[in-house]
Chain A
Amino acid sequence: MSDLGFYALRLALLVAAAGTLAGALAGFRNSAALAAVARRALLLNFALCTLALAALFHAFATLDFQLSYVANHAARSMAPHYRMAALWGGQAGSLLLWCWMLSAYAAAALPAMRRLPALAPWASALLLGGCIFFLALLCFVSDPFEKLPPAAVLSDGAGLNPLLQHPVMMIHPLMLYTGLTGFSLPFAFGFAALAAQATGAAWLRATRRFTLWAWCFLSIGILLGGRWAYEVLGWGGYWAWDPVENASLMPWLAATAYLHSVMVQEKRGMLRIWNLALVGLTYTLCLFGTMITRSGLVRSVHAFAQTEIFGVLFAGFVLLSAGLFFGLLIVRLPRLRAERQLESVVSREAGFIVNNWLFMALLAIVFWGTLFPKLSDWLAGREILIGPGWFNGLTAPVALPLLLLTGVGPLIAWRRATPAHLRRHLAWPGLAGAAAALGLALWLPQAGWLAIATWAIGAFVLVAIAGEFARALRARARRGEGPGRALAALLRKNQRRYGGYIVHIGMVLILCGVAGSALEEEQLANIRVGDAVSMRGYRLEYRTARPIRAQHYGGAEARLALFQNGAPLATLTPEKRVYWLEQQPASIPAIWSTLGEDLYVVLSAIEQDGSATLKVHYNPLVNWIWIGGGAFILGTLLVMWPLPRRAVPA
């Protein structure tokens, strides 16, 4: 079976090359037959990539340690589901997964290509061109089907990093890849629209759901990554501005900007160039992020160790893709003039433009901060690392106006808003925001102005969105609909707008949760049995420690009795482990989680004298990040869910 996978990959490379050639020729010569060849190549490429992926899955399922990749990433002792997830635990397998997803998206875009036949050849060529790169990497640089010499075949494999053997980690990479590869479709269609000189709104409509789909999964991936870091890594946080984290955040920022600005093109025929540029930027950042993760360009706790050739090849591909897209965009600039100009700075389209500026500012900060260590190394010969403080200090002042726009934007009318209209719609939210700011400044002055401003603006946005719902429900009530029916009708018939509001609610909750970090506390204590450590009304009493002797790891766990204001709450058992096979230490935190706060306890060590060294974190509002994330995903699903529409007859 692995031989079949080996051949399937090589064949897929040939097919992708043939399809790219056919697509490009079809685009130039306007040939139906060649376009049909390109379309068939998309399907064939998908089938062959699926065969290769299935072969690798089969190799993992049957533990075929003849394959170097399987031998290095699986072990007999691993549970079957983690064995399968080990497929994307290393370089070659995750590249194959990426390539398969790319081919799957390309195949899934066929119906859209049928609707836009003029764009199909170019889109096919670009999608298959991307596949060529990944397939070439898989065939010649990082082959998942590479076999070990017979004498080197072992009875058991080396296993997977134990920190990755976590339920969240089974799906986090899948979500992330689904998101990152998904942006290939708007990229390919945008390129095709430029190539075929059909830059109307048709390509936007054709790829809108794919873009949302990709964005939704990228968001889920980022959130799951944060959740995993919080639960498994044991450093007390969920986001460390690690380059690999930033690599997934950058395309998300660009895509979010695009999802907003595309509405301006749909509604007002403006920002066509900008939207195309954002589409190009988003996918380029997806590739760029993948490159820095895999090439070892930046230092990261979860970057793949890689050879230099990998980085060079990937950088070449990123430059080629971006060069093709933006080069064509520049060539077509004269044809891309907006249908209209901005009529007023107080209008929804102006709001979207400001929104885009802010997203771009965030992107620039994250980009600079991610690459600065490398740039400083290149320019000054010394790698200057940038810590989370730098990112937090710069991003927060940009994120706050963005949050404010989340509330203000939907209230402003298209074209222009009158002062009376603004007064009417902004009065209550403004009042709520001001009251929240005042209350918080008096109640929690230690939180600092940034956190108070975040929460106050959050209150403003939530009241504004509630007002939007209330006004819409009142309007429907005038037609005699009850509140429940009216709400359902509202969400069903205007899913983009009201789903979008739910996304905004999710974002507000996430940012409010993040702002809770202003009240974070941390304490490092060494306590003997019977002693206690206290923090914020909580008291942790060290009862005992006992050794852990599991099959795959050993270590110790401390048993701690948790009290709040004298009342017993729970027993917490943070662990310090060493995974035998991988010789990897890990601190498994114990978390007491409530809606308001988390008490996060890490066992640093059980000392020789039996005392325990504990690190206790007080993390307020962390749960609101996950709750907000849930609302965020729910809203996105609502926006893109294909509700049945009344068919418009031909």
Chain B
Amino acid sequence: MRRALRCAVLALCLAPGAAQGQGPGLPALPERPIPAGEGRISGRVVHAESGAPVAGVQVILLALDEQGQPSWRTANSDGEGRYRFGGIATGLTYQLGALYAGLPFSGARLSFEPGVLRLRAGDLPVRDPRPAAPGDLNLTALRAVLDVDAAAVSVREVHELRAEGKTPLLGTLQAPLLRIPLPRQAVELRARSSDAGLELRPVPTPGDVGAGAAAGAAGESLAVLGSLAPGELHVELEYRLPAPSADTPARFARRLPFHIPLLEIYLVDTGDLAPRSKLLHRRRPARDGSTNYLRLEAFEVAPGEEIDLTLERLPPRSAVSQGVALAAAWALLLGAVAILLWPLVAPFRPRRAQTGAEEAAASPDAAPGSAAAHGAAYAALREEREALYAAIGDLDHDLETGKLSAADHAELRAELRARAIHLLREERAATLPPSGAARASAEASATAGSSAADSGAPGADSEMRAATGAATGTATGAATGADARAESEAPPGAPHAAAPRCAACGFEAAQAHRFCAHCGAPLQAAQAGAATAAPTDSTAGAAADGTATPRDPQAGGAAQDAASGRTAQ
């Protein structure tokens, strides 16, 4: 309430005409009678420094009722500085104030104790203003609102000021309270102050204080004149600057001769403005009703430091029209539908030549026995075989580095070999369509297939080692050799004299098998039996056998290369 009362007193004191009232007769001050009662308040107006009574001072008594409604009464101090308010209600709280030399002074806050009808308020001190000196009136913040339209940039500057100390200040033309440089290109300039008792007058800027290229209009400043009580006030400047065009950006440039702790600029955002400034930084945009503001800010601007804000108009966006975008979207939609539906509406269109794998991919449900199914099977088998080669290579590496016992190595290797051989056969079968495979098998059965048999088990083993070599990557062309051999060996189901039986484990193998499907050992009997069928290849098989040792897959691979080369010939 104290704050409200104080504001009310000050507002009352600052009411139009109050500034002129230094004596009796203040006709402009409106009265709102305080409710009547039996209470009385009296006191004395004295000079703060000398303590001498001051006559003719208008004293204001302000009251707030329970609903917060203000009421007041005025009285003038007599020759001894005394004043008295009688016939007032006792149930209210009162605030005393005075107007002296056009300045408001705040007095005591009073209330009647129960049963008490007279109150002595004590002395109400007033002071004579003294001439303002630098540092008496300081800027606490400068806020500017800029509104850019086609015709101009409208600027409203609010200089927030604080009069320090307790003594009122007096600004004169020789020593104004404040001198605010006016912008050079400003037109339609208007100024007002929150203290109606102050006078704002354009004056030539004396000397060169803060007058830079961008400073006052023809060296003019706005002088703040009159008496000023301690406290806060603001001075507003409104003016217009030239609007930005496509070629020339607008410029808001100020250079003030005093320190600005906080500078805030609110720029009404039209969506096409690009403010640039070295001094100011951006803050989050602000919104007031339907208006958006770009917000810029700077702290601790030094006296004479240039505030420079360039406002450019952004070029209009060369946006694709909605219609074009919609048309493009429709085109995309139609294209997408066409692409998606094509396999459904044209499943039997002519195809280009494809590899087996591609065909398989194109038709995962290809009928068993079709080329596509064979391609897919082949690709999968080849991949699996490569993985097996890698596993065998790993196994050998484990043996070499002593992480696997020889017995475990042999057993594990035999398992992998058996699987690899099985894959080689299946892979070969998958390479060609069944009819072709059967024909090729039949043709090969008498020649290439028996070549391994001619060379016996070691030759066949070299094939496996070559495969291993491919896996470890040490045998150049080993895989080629292994595959070539797989191509040329006897097909499953090719006629043989007797079913071979594994010498190592006794497992009965299929006739075409050259390795035991159970333990992976070479099937010597079967191959020895077929040895005579193809004497021309026996040398190749023997060479492979002769050069390859179990620990030397590279040699085996090389030999196998030779063997495959000859077979191909």
A17 to B215, CA, bound (A): 66
Q: Is residue B366 within 8 Å, beta carbon to beta carbon, of the partner chain?
A: yes
Contact B320 A1 (CB under 8 A): yes
In the complex, whether A580 has a CB less than 8 A from a CB of chain B is: yes
Check: B325 CB closer than 8 A to any chain A CB.
Answer: yes
Within the complex, the shortest CB–CB distance from B384 to chain A, in Å, comes to 7
Instruction: Evaluate contact between A580 and B401: CB separation under 8 angstroms.
Output: no
* Residue from A155, A424, A468 in contact with B314 in the complex, judged by beta carbons closer than 8 Å: A155
In contact, B397 and A494 (Cβ under 8 angstroms): yes
Q: How many residues of B contact A (CB 8 A)?
A: 81
How far does the alpha carbon of A418 sit from the alpha carbon of B404 in the complex, in Å? 9
Is A552 engaged at the interface, CB distance under 8 Å to the other chain? yes
Q: Contact at B479–A44, with CB atoms within 8 Å?
A: no
CB of A492, distance to nearest CB on chain B (Å): 8
Per-residue CB contact flags for chain A residues 406-430 toward chain B (1 = under 8 Å, else 0) read 0000011111101001001100000
A581, B431: Cβ atoms under 8 Å? no
Q: Are B479 and A475 in contact (CB under 8 A)?
A: no
Once bound together, how far apart are the Cα atoms of A75 and B296, in whole Å?
A: 13
In whole angstroms, what is the CA distance A648 to B329 when docked? 47
A202 to B377, CA, bound (A): 12
A291 CB, nearest partner CB in chain B, Å: 30
B343 contact from A40, A66, A76, A497, Cβ within 8 A: A40
Known contacts A155-B294, A648-B479; is-contact A475 B401 (Cβ 8 Å): yes
Residue numbers in B under 8 Å from A32 (CB-CB): 343, 347, 362-366
Q: In the bound complex, do residue B405 and residue A413 qualify as a contact, i.e. CB atoms below 8 Å apart? A: yes
The digit string for B299-337, where 1 denotes a CB below 8 A from any CB of A, is: 100000000000000100101101001101100110010
Given contacts A115-B357, A117-B361, A155-B274, contact A413 B378 (CB under 8 A): no
Interface status of A201 (Cβ within 8 A of chain B): yes
B376 adjacent to chain A (CB < 8 Å): yes
Residues facing A in B399-418 (CB within 8 A) are 400-405, 408, 412
> Is the pair A413, B404 in contact by a Cβ cutoff of 8 Å?
yes
Complex: chain A residue closest to B471, CB-CB: A493
B342 at the interface (CB under 8 A from A): yes
* In the complex, chain A residues whose CB is within 8 Å of the CB of B325: 3-4, 6-7
Complex CA–CA separation, A553 to B281 (angstroms) = 8
Contact at A414–B380, with CB atoms within 8 Å? no
- Residue in B closest to A554 when the chains form the complex, CB atoms: B299
Q: Which residues of B contact A116 (CB under 8 A)?
A: 380
Contact between chains at B366 and A650 (CB < 8 Å): no
A151 to B290, CA, bound (A): 8
Which residues A45-91 have CB closer than 8 A to chain B?
Answer: 48, 51, 62, 64-66, 75-77
Partner of B479, one of A77, A412, A646: A646
Residues of A within 8 Å of B339, CB to CB, are 40, 44
Tell me whether A115 and B379 are in contact in the complex, defined as CB-CB below 8 angstroms, given that A44-B336, A154-B271 are known contacts. yes
Check: B539 CB closer than 8 A to any chain A CB: no
A305 to B457: give the CA distance in the assembly, Å: 72
Q: Is residue A153 contacting chain B, with contact meaning CB distance below 8 A? A: yes
Min Cβ gap A424→B in Å is 7
Can you list, as one digit per residue, whether each of A582-598 has a CB less than 8 Å from chain B (1) or not (0)?
Answer: 11000000000000000
Residues of A within 8 A of B352 (CB): none
Q: Quick check: B344 and A580 within 8 Å, CB to CB? A: no
Q: How far is the CA of A164 from the CA of B479 in the complex (A)?
A: 53
Asked if A8 lies at the interface with its beta carbon under 8 angstroms from chain B, I say yes
**A582 CB contacts on chain B under 8 angstroms:** 284
Most interface-central of B281, B339, B480 (chain A CB within 10 A): B281
The yes or no answer to B38 lying at the interface (CB within 8 A) is no
B329–A156 contact, CB under 8 A? Answer: no
Q: B332 near A35 (CB under 8 angstroms)?
A: no
Tell me, yes or no, whether B42 is within 8 Å of chain A by CB. no
Give B318's nearest chain A residue, CB to CB. A62
Q: Is B341 on the interface with A (CB-CB < 8 A)? A: yes
- Is there contact, CB below 8 Å, between A115 and B271? no
Which residues of B have CB within 8 Å of A7?
Answer: 325-326, 328-329, 332
Say whether A14 faces chain B, with CB atoms less than 8 Å apart. Answer: yes
Which residues on A sit within 8 Å (CB–CB) of B387?
201, 205, 266
Q: Which of A25-48 contact B (CB under 8 A)?
A: 26, 30-37, 40-41, 44, 48
**A580 and B297 alpha carbons, distance in the complex (Å):** 9
* A113 sits at the interface (CB 8 A): yes
- Say whether A484 faces chain B, with CB atoms less than 8 Å apart: no
Residue B472 interfacial (CB < 8 Å): yes
B residues less than 8 Å from A650 (CB atoms): 356, 378, 382, 431, 483
Determine if B123 is an interface residue (Cβ-Cβ < 8 Å).
Answer: no
> What does the 1/0 interface line of A109-153 toward B look like (CB < 8 Å)?
000011111101100000000000000000000000000001111
Complex contacts, A267 vs chain B, CB 8 Å = 391, 394
Given the contacts A64-B317, A202-B384, A413-B403, A117 and B282 also touching, CB distance less than 8 Å: no
Task: Check A76 against B274 for contact (C-beta < 8 Å).
Answer: yes
Residue B245 at the chain A interface, CB threshold 8 Å: no
Q: Report whether over half of chain B's contact residues are helix, strand or loop; otherwise say mixed.
A: helix
Supposing A40-B342, A554-B299 touch, asked if A35 and B364 sit within 8 A by C-beta, the answer is: yes
**Nearest CB of B to A303, in Å:** 22
A581 to B296, CA, bound (A): 9
Tell whether A583 pairs with B274 under 8 Å between CB atoms, given A37-B340, A62-B317: no
Return the contact of A117 from the options B270, B273, B299, B376 (Cβ within 8 A).
Answer: B376
Cβ contacts under 8 Å, B285 to chain A:
154, 156, 158
- Of all chain B residues, the one with the shortest Cβ separation from A410 is B403
Q: A37-B341, A202-B383 are in contact. Are A77 and B401 (CB under 8 A)?
A: no
Q: Which residue of B lies closest to A417 (CB)?
A: B403
Q: Which of B420-469 contact A (CB under 8 A)?
A: 431
Residues 355-375 (chain B) with a chain A CB within 8 angstroms:
356-358, 360-366
B contact residues around A35 at 8 Å (CB): 364-365
Tell me the complex Cα distance, A549–B279, Å: 9
Judged by a CB distance under 8 angstroms, whether A15 is at the interface is yes
In the complex, whether A551 has a CB less than 8 A from a CB of chain B is yes
Is A382 in contact with chain B by the CB < 8 A criterion? no
Is A11 positioned at the interface, with any CB of B under 8 Å from its CB?
A: yes
- Determine the chain A residues whose CB is within 8 A of the CB of B319 once the complex forms: 1
Q: Which residues of B contact A546 (CB under 8 A)?
A: none
Interface status of A649 (Cβ within 8 A of chain B) = yes
Query: B315 to nearest A CB, angstroms?
Result: 11
Whether the Cβ atoms of A472 and B343 lie closer than 8 Å is no
Determine the chain A residues whose CB is within 8 A of the CB of B473 once the complex forms: 492-493, 645-646
Which chain A residues (144-185) contact chain B, with CB distance < 8 Å? 150-156, 158-159
A425 to B402, CA, bound (A): 9
Can you name the residue of chain B whose Cβ is closest to the Cβ of A418?
Answer: B405
CB distance from B277 to the nearest CB of A (A): 9
| B179 contacts the other chain (CB 8 A) | no
CB distance from B298 to the nearest CB of A (A): 9
Known: A155-B294, A468-B401. A115 touches B299 (CB 8 A): no
> Is B130 located at the chain interface by the 8 A CB criterion?
no
Q: Are B283 and A580 in contact (CB under 8 A)?
A: yes
* CB-CB contacts below 8 Å: B246-278 with A: 269-275, 278
Q: Do B380 and A416 have beta carbons less than 8 Å apart?
A: no
How far, in Å, is B187 (CB) from chain A's closest CB? Answer: 25
Q: Given A33-B344, A154-B294, A472-B401, are A117 and B384 also a contact pair (CB < 8 Å)?
A: no
Q: Which of A4, A154, A424 contacts B269 (CB 8 A)?
A: A154
12 A–B contacts from the bound complex (CB under 8 Å): A7-B326, A8-B332, A11-B329, A34-B344, A40-B339, A155-B314, A158-B285, A413-B403, A414-B398, A468-B401, A472-B401, A648-B470
- 20 more A-B contacts (CB under 8 A) besides A14-B333, A266-B391? A11-B329, A30-B364, A37-B343, A76-B274, A114-B357, A117-B361, A118-B364, A120-B364, A121-B364, A155-B294, A202-B380, A414-B412, A416-B408, A468-B401, A471-B402, A493-B474, A554-B299, A580-B282, A646-B479, A648-B479
* A-B interface, 5 closest residue pairs, ranked by CB to CB distance from nearest: A114-B361, A117-B364, A7-B329, A3-B325, A36-B343
